[in-house]
Amino acid sequence: MRLIFLGPPGVGKGTQAQRLSETYKVPKISTGDILREAVHKNTSLGVKAKSFIDAGMLVPDDVVIEIVRERLKEPDCPKGYIMDGFPRTIEQAEALGKMLRETGSVIQQVLNFQLSDEELVRRLSGRRSCPHCQTVYNLAFNPPKQEGVCDQCKSPLVQRSDDEPRTILKRLEVYQRQTRPLISYYEGQKLLTNINAAGSVEDVFKRVISAVQKGKIG
Ligand code: AP5
């Protein structure tokens, strides 16, 4: 299984990628998670990425392409993976295509998650996450059992620095300008399947499973 999850911020890519990764036992490769961990650990990558993330802008292509190149060399990748949040520009997509051709591999399917802007803003504004085990919650749709505390590891939950209202709007604008063109790009390669991301996590997951099975890669 070699999949790409495409879609605007807050559409639920990370939530669905996590579930699919657990179901099919393949890694979820999230460039957002890798960058946030680097920021948290204050590495040189984190220092470079922080100002872009906090401003709702994309981290430069060469930086994220290198992250993915290194990640794909890890031993859990040959059996497959779900790319969550990469590629996000045509340049990243071209670089990924080249990397895979070099190893005789291809992307099998691109799932494009769709949701209204109004609902995206609602989901992002209510998101809280655990900085320790990365479990994601939503105050409105999927709250933790105890307010402000992770159900899994009991760490205090945090709001992502880029989930502040002005940054959310910036991220949506950046998505329209830089990432949306990937829809036609992958449509042209006959890899795209649209997924209606409205409804509960469970409803959306059923659509994801159905798409993967129809694509005959599950
Ligand atoms: P990244 O972490 O990739 O963020 P994103 O794409 O903006 O996506 P999000 O994580 O915000 O949303 P999601 O679709 O995963 O939704 P989630 O499942 O969490 O990137 C962050 C930043 O890093 C970028 O802005 C950029 O600076 C940098 N970056 C990352 N990758 C890069 C790249 N390739 N190139 C350059 N820069 C890069 O769900 C959202 C909320 O909704 C949660 O609270 C969840 O619980 C809830 N929810 C999920 N599904 C449902 C549902 N069905 N019903 C109700 N609530 C739901």
The CA 8 to ligand 1 mean position distance, Å, reads 8
Q: How far is the CA of 147 from the centre of ligand 1 (A)?
A: 22
Residue with tokens 């070699």: 2
- pLDDT band for position 13 (cuts 50, 70, 90): very high
**Whole-angstrom distance, CA of residue 137 vs CA of residue 150:** 9
User: Given 50, 127, 128, 207, which residue is catalytic?
Assistant: 127
Spacing, Cα 187 to ligand 1 middle (Å): 22
Predicted TM-score of the model (pTM):
0.95
Atom of ligand 1 minimally distant from the CA of 35: 23
pLDDT of residue 133: 87
Kindly state the average pLDDT of the residues 15-32: 96
Q: Is 171 exposed, middle or buried (0-12, 13-18, 19+ CB in 10 A)?
A: buried
DSSP annotation of 144 reads -
Q: Tell the residue nearest (CA) to atom 15 of ligand 1.
A: 14
**Is 180 labeled as catalytic in the residue annotation?**
no
Mutate to test the pocket of ligand 1, among 21, 30, 34, 35 (most ligand atoms within 8 A of CB): 35
Using CA atoms, how far residue 207 sits from 61, 138, 193, 203, 211, in Å, is 31, 21, 11, 7, 6
Name the packing angle between helices 90-102 and 61-71 (round to 10°): 30
User: DSSP state, 84?
Assistant: E
Where residue 161 falls among pLDDT bands split at 50, 70, 90? confident
Q: Using CA positions, which residue lies closest to atom 29 of ligand 1?
A: 32
- List all residues 6 or more positions away from 56 whose beta carbon is below 8 Å from its beta carbon: 162, 166, 167, 168, 169, 170, 171, 174
**138: Cβ below 6 Å to ligand 1?**
yes
More confident residue, 30 or 216: 30
Nearest CA to ligand 1 atom 50: 12
Residue 44 burial (10 A CB sphere; 0-12, 13-18, 19+): exposed
pLDDT band at 218 (very low <50, low <70, confident <90, very high): low
The whole-angstrom separation of Cα 38 and Cα 47 is: 8
Residue 137 is given by DSSP the state E
Does residue 217 have a pLDDT over 90? no
36 is catalytic: no
The closest alpha carbon to 1, from 13, 17, 9, 11, belongs to 17
* Token reading at 106: 């291809």
Residue from 71, 88, 123, 128 carrying the catalytic annotation: 88
CA distance 168 to 216: 36
